[in-house]
Structure 1
Amino acid sequence: MTTGYADSGDGKLYYEIEGKGEVLVLIHAGFVDSGMWEEQWESFTRNYRVLRFDMRGFGKSDPVTGPVSHRHDLYHLLQGLGIKHAHLLGCSMGGETVIDFTLEHPEMVLSLTVVSGIPGSFEMTGEPPSEILEMLQALEKGDLDLVSDLQIRLWVDGTFRQPEQVSPSVRKHAAEMNRVAVKNGTWAIADASPLNPLSPPAAGRLDEIKVPVLIIVGSLDNPEILRAADLLENKIENAKKVIMPDCAHVPNMEKPEEFNRNVLNFLRNL
């Protein structure tokens, strides 16, 4: 494995890369870091040259000082490593990032896997989860432990489960990663108001995506995430959707063997 730091132009990104063959880039969700891919690493690096990295404000990368553009950071990282073409796999905010990147740099993308992701400017319906308001209130009070707990309840447990119904090891691992971003204030500083959002936004441009696309979503995730998956499937010509049962927003952490099989079967059949 090769590890290092790449200059994004406004901070350093920590990355790891291992394996041979076509490049597969893994982009984490916006409440954890690249450690969320631990259960994918060995399986994927046997078949591909796999790159994972911590977005700014997460994990071992530099903290953020203002809004960031994750798709621009991804571009600088790939350019710095001399990677001209890659398969992209992103979860949640990482999924939104890879969709935007594909629309902006279609010549660099071999395939796209979107996990629990929504396209930019996707219009949510209904009442937001109660945890969102509670998180904002906890942030105002500086109660970072509660902020972290609420994020795990929202994204790992999901809408339809109680904490005791979820693997304790998955919750613990996610919480350890999440505390770094919460301590850095990443969401409030950078992600609540992204820098230079894609224009026009992705939600109205999905038919421009021509590469093969795999959409993975957990059956117990927020219904709006599943609705976004339907939109992606219906609007992208070469899209295939997989609903993984009995898991929520991070299906790769809850059911790694099933997740790995879905991704590798998709990539092998391109």
Structure 2
Amino acid sequence: MNKIEVNGTSLAYDDTGSGTPVVLLHAGIADRRMWREQIGPLAARHRVIAVDLRGYGDSELPPAPFAHHDDVAGLLDALDIPSAALVGCSFGGAVAVDVALAHPQRVTALALLGTAVSGHEWSEEANELWERLVGEVDPEDFVASAAGEVRFWVVGPGRDPEDVDPELIAFATEMDQRALAAELALSAVDVAELDPPAIGRLAELRMPVLVTAGAADVPDISRLADQIAAEAPYATRLPDVPAAGHLLPLERPAPVNAALLDFLP
């Protein structure tokens, strides 16, 4: 693990391999460890940087206002990297898109895996699925909250927990408990959002974009992938990855790695 000062905070990251740079941005229910199956294969051809976003994992959270997308640009500055490809999953994908809109000259390509998008509003179907699968949970009960989020996101609405590798569920639960503590701390800090948000600006993404989702994920995620592919001018929509939920890089690394190696410049 490395640490580096970025925009007044200390970000933790792993820096592996050499070649064209690729930055991996983790899901909001995870941290940089979710990329453990990607780093080795990608590092054979690329300089791979897996970072904990501010407040998550081993990165710090000073009380000063900040924006995640500016932190990623600041990380590139601190590492003396003019531009990089960004690979993001879920919340990390939303941050990647925001970086590409706020700092387009810094992003050579975007790979978005089960991505969120800033400004997107969840459908009534998604809200009803949450109520059916999880229900009300005390947000300060990290154990119960993580169990609910893993059931919703990692297992997905069309599968039972018994259908999913128990090691994946255990690892995702451990990461999510830590991420929930990070999100509680982040709620007390002024986190600036991209303005206007990305959901109405996808046509501004002028770099190559690869987008896919897990076939077992919440339907909203697949629809977002469709929307990005329809609106971003240089987007490629891969079919949803079979037998994969929200953390598809962990659950189905082989097809994800093959797609990334084929796409990344």
Distance 1:177 1:63, change over 3 A: farther
Corresponding residue number in structure 2 for 1:206: 202
Structure 1 residues 148-159: aligned runs within 5 Å = 148-159=146-157
Residue 199 of structure 2 corresponds to residue 222 of structure 1: no
In the alignment, does 2:148 pair up with 1:166?
no
Gap change, CA 1:65 and 1:165, over 3 Å in 2: farther
Matches of 1:103 and 1:247 in 2, distance apart? 29
**Residue matched to 1:24:** 22
Q: CA deviation at 1:161?
A: 1.1
Cα shift at 1:124:
2.3
- CA offset digits 1:154-174 (Å, max 9, x no partner): 221111111111011111111
1:246 pairs with 226, 243, 263, which one? 243
Number of paired residues? 262
Aligned to 2:47: 49
Percent pairwise identity:
33
Task: Give me the whole-angstrom Cα distance separating, in 2, the residues matched to 1:232 and 1:51.
Answer: 25
Greater displacement, 150-159 / 211-220: 150-159
The one-letter amino acid of 1:181's match is A
Once the two structures are TM-superposed, the CA of residue 191 in structure 1 deviates from its matched residue by 6.1
C-alpha distance after superposition, 1:211-252 (max 9, x if no partner)? 110002011111111111110000011111121111111111
1:75-102: CA deviation from partner (whole Å, max 9, x where unpaired) = 1111111111101001000000000100
Instruction: Tell me the amino acid that sits aligned with residue 257 of structure 1.
Output: A
1:134 Cα deviation from its structure 2 partner:
5.3
TM-score normalised per structure 2: 0.92
Q: Which structure 2 residues correspond to residues 1-270 of structure 1 after superposition, within 5 A?
A: 3-63=1-61, 65=63, 68-127=66-125, 128=127, 129-130=129-130, 137-139=137-139, 142-182=140-180, 184=181, 186-190=182-186, 195-242=191-238, 243-267=240-264
Amino acid at match of 1:196: A
- 8 Å CA contact retained: 1:64, 1:189: no
How far the C-alpha of 1:144 sits from its partner, in A, is: 2.0
Please give the alpha-carbon distance, in whole angstroms, between the structure 1 residues aligned to 2:262 and 2:90.
21
Distance across 2 between alignment mates of 1:30 and 1:105:
22
Q: Give the root-mean-square deviation of aligned CA atoms.
A: 2.2
Give the letter for the 2:224 counterpart.
Answer: A
Contact 2:73 2:106 in 1 (8 A): no
Please give the alpha-carbon distance, in whole angstroms, between the structure 1 residues aligned to 2:68 and 2:157.
27
Determine the C-alpha separation between the residues in 2 that align with 1:25 and 1:47.
13
Contiguous gaps of at least 5 residues in structure 2: none
Query: Does the residue aligned with 1:218 lie in a helix, a strand or coil?
Result: coil
What is the TM-score of this pair, normalised by structure 1?
A: 0.90
Task: Note the residue ranges of structure 1 that are not aligned, 5 or more in a row.
Answer: none
Using the alignment, how far apart are the partners of 1:192 and 1:203 within structure 2? 25
Whether the aligned pair in 1 keeps the contact of 2:208 and 2:235 (CA below 8 Å) is yes
